[in-house]
Amino acid sequence: MITLNLNVNGKDHRLEIEDHMRLLDVIRGPLGLTGTKEGCGEGECGACTVILDGKAVDSCLVLAAQCEGKKVVTIEGLETENGLDPVQQAFLDNGAVQCGYCIPGMVLSAKALLDKNAAPNDQQIKEAISGNLCRCTGYDKMVKAIKTASE
């Protein structure tokens, strides 16, 4: 067991975890934040995407022990008392959600992009979500939603 200090969605946590746990396991397990999904478990699908110190990462590929003192944002961290994050709202408004399984990761990849680049072009949006697979919608509505959120 190891002790892990982690800031998740603005809140500090001190956790006792198994040293082999992935960041994804800690998020869905001890932290109970099940909005982060596991798809492939090997860095291919992006369903497990979270924002780690400002960067979108596949949490299934990150060893939790490597995250000591870091800041994590999960999908649960985007909604505030003022409502949904503009990216979440834009996904709803543009009909960019079908089954929803990929959406938390997709939204967080978009959020990480918009935090760095407030006015991305279509190519930059496509690159930002290129690691997030969706089997329902095709990607046009998602790109449109992210564009909308940036306006």
Tell me the residue number closest to ligand FES, measured at CB: 60
**For ligand FES, the closer CB: 95 or 100:** 100
Q: What is the DSSP letter of 95?
A: T
What burial class does residue 105 get, using C-beta atoms within 10 Å of its C-beta: 0-12 exposed, 13-18 middle, 19+ buried?
Answer: buried
CB of 33 to ligand FES, least distance (A): 15
CB of 114 to ligand FES, least distance (A): 21
**For ligand FES, the closer CB: 8 or 90:** 8
CA proximity to 57, closest of 68, 71, 76, 77: 71
Q: In 10 A of CB 43, how many CB atoms?
A: 14
Q: How far apart are CA 57 and CA 51, in angstroms?
A: 6
**For ligand FES, the closer CB: 92 or 136:** 136
Q: Checking DSSP bridges between strand 71-73 and strand 2-8, what pairing results, if any?
A: parallel
Query: Which residues contact ligand FES (rule: CB under 6 A)?
Result: 38-41, 43-48, 58, 60
Q: In 10 A of CB 52, how many CB atoms?
A: 20
**For ligand FES, the closer CB: 50 or 113:** 50
CB of 46 to ligand FES, least distance (A): 5
